[in-house]
Amino acid sequence: MRVFFTSFGFAVLLVSSVVARAPSFRPFFKPPFSFPSQPRNAKQCTLTASGGDDAPRFLKAIEACPTVTIPKSTTLNIQTRLNMTGLRDKHINLEGTIKFSDDIPYWSGNGFFIPFQTQITFWLLGGENILFDGGGTLDGSGQLWWDTFATNASLLRPITLTIFQAQNVLVENINMINSPEWHNLLNEGKNVVYNNINISSLSNSTHQASNTDGWDVYRSDTVAILNSVIVNDDDCVSFKPNTTNIVVENLDCTGSHGISVGSLGQFSGVFDIVENVLAKNIRMTNAQNGARIKAWAGPNVGSGIVKNITFENFFETAVQNPVIIDQCYMTNATECAQFPSNTFIQDVLFKNITGTGSETIVASLSCSPDGRCTDVALEDINLSSTKGTTSYTCQNVNITGDAASLFPQCTIT
């Protein structure tokens, strides 16, 4: 038994006798904070479309009113960037649609710049005690962006929603479609919950909806991503550097690149941390990866630590790499042996991973030499290849758990 503590104030017991079952997609979690009640006479604003750029009116409304409602019949057209940082005790009740323009020249020059991985975003939302809900839709108008990116790989495409320097935030019952790039970036957040988010970004041309991650979590602590459905063409959820105390539960991911820790250790002189992560009850379909950890190796890379990571109850169908650790990311075996990763991986559990892989190898644990992967356990693994022969590979790692026997003796480099 392992005990997984987080700063939510609860513990998750990971017991080897857990019975495999399909995800229920029933909420299990309540936010670790409460929103202050608003006075009865608190001002409430209802925002309808103006026929032009609705961004200035939206900004004025959120400044003036504790609650801003966008009615079900309304589509707000956002043609200029939204800076909603420094908010306090605000409720955005989105029943209708917020639609961002696809004016590539404007957004390329005016989107808020995110230094991490050189990004831009339509919308910065930050502050304290923020509720964003209502059952409505965020539409990123991504098709033109995807088509243009196919012939211009240097194009900066906006993230739809960036929660920045925020604490005590609940985003709930929101649909997100057609994001030009990532759907959600959480940057410097604490006590942030996403619940019942439906994400869909599918191209209607021959050009892929590339890099449309569901969530990227960066420099944030105490986060839950729950009860959501994601159809996209990149990571379902990615834990970027300095992410701690995360629960991801009850997700249905289709076409994705998996639930990914990393990549980490990319930049020389930078120390990355990801620790205390639980990803549980995940359905993964037609995906590139299932449960994944990736860390850079090679000359002039950074360093870091990945610690206390649990992937539990993954139900995978036609997944290329159902289970993967790649501590030689972006290198080959020869270079990785010469320049091993400086991002150490410790205390990782893959438990109750079932389903089918679309390639012969269904689990690959590729670690750098010199003991840089330790305490890696696999339990209750039941994976088969749709190509007939099923195989497991590993290098430079001592595997424990009842599924260790599935692996041949690991290659030592």
Model pLDDT, residue 278: 97
Say if residues 265 and 295 touch (Cβ distance below 8 Å).
yes
The SS3 call for residue 148 is helix
Return the number of other C-beta atoms located less than 10 Å from residue 300's C-beta: 9
Strand 82-94 with 119-121, pairing: unpaired
Give residues with Cβ within 8 angstroms of 39, minimum separation 6.
Answer: none
Say if residues 159 and 181 touch (Cβ distance below 8 Å).
yes
Residue among 91, 183, 207, 257 flagged as catalytic: 257
Q: What is the average pLDDT value for the chain, to the nearest integer?
A: 92
Answer whether residue 99 shows pLDDT above 90. Answer: yes
Lookup result for tokens 């929660």: 163
- The yes-or-no answer on residue 257 being catalytic is yes
Q: What is the rounded distance in angstroms from the CA atom of residue 81 to the CA atom of residue 228?
A: 27
Q: Which domains does the chain have, with CATH numbers?
A: 47-224 (2.160.20.10), 235-413 (2.160.20.10)
Give residues with Cβ within 8 angstroms of 151, minimum separation 6.
Answer: none
Model pLDDT, residue 40: 60
pLDDT tens per residue, range 209-267: 999 999 999 999 999 999 999 999 999 999 999 999 999 999 999 999 999 999 999 99
Answer whether residue 119 shows pLDDT above 70. Answer: yes
What is the rounded average pLDDT of the residues 170-176?
Answer: 98
Q: Using the 8-state DSSP alphabet, how is residue 129 labeled? A: E
The SS3 call for residue 388 is coil
Answer whether residue 294 shows pLDDT above 60. Answer: yes
Model pLDDT, residue 413: 82
- SS3 assignment for 327-344: EEECCCHHHHHHCCCEEE
Model pLDDT, residue 36: 56
Give residues with Cβ within 8 angstroms of 165, minimum separation 6.
Answer: 85, 126, 127, 187, 188, 189
Give residues with Cβ within 8 angstroms of 31, minimum separation 6.
Answer: 168, 170, 191, 193, 224
Model pLDDT, residue 412: 85
Model pLDDT, residue 333: 87
What is the rounded average pLDDT of the residues 347-369?
Answer: 98
For the chain, percent of residues with pLDDT exceeding 90: 87
Q: What is the rounded distance in angstroms from the CA atom of residue 254 to the CA atom of residue 272?
A: 29
Give the predicted TM-score (pTM) of the model: 0.91
Q: What is the rounded distance in angstroms from the CA atom of residue 116 to the CA atom of residue 263?
A: 13
Q: Which structure tokens are listed for 42? A: 């608190």
Between the CA of residue 131 and those of 67, 125, 214, what are the distances in Å? 9, 11, 19
CA torsion angle for 49, 50, 54, 56 (degrees, to 10)? -130
Side-chain-facing half-sphere of 359: CA atoms under 13 Å: 16
Say if residues 318 and 286 touch (Cβ distance below 8 Å).
yes
Q: Using the 8-state DSSP alphabet, how is residue 386 labeled? A: T
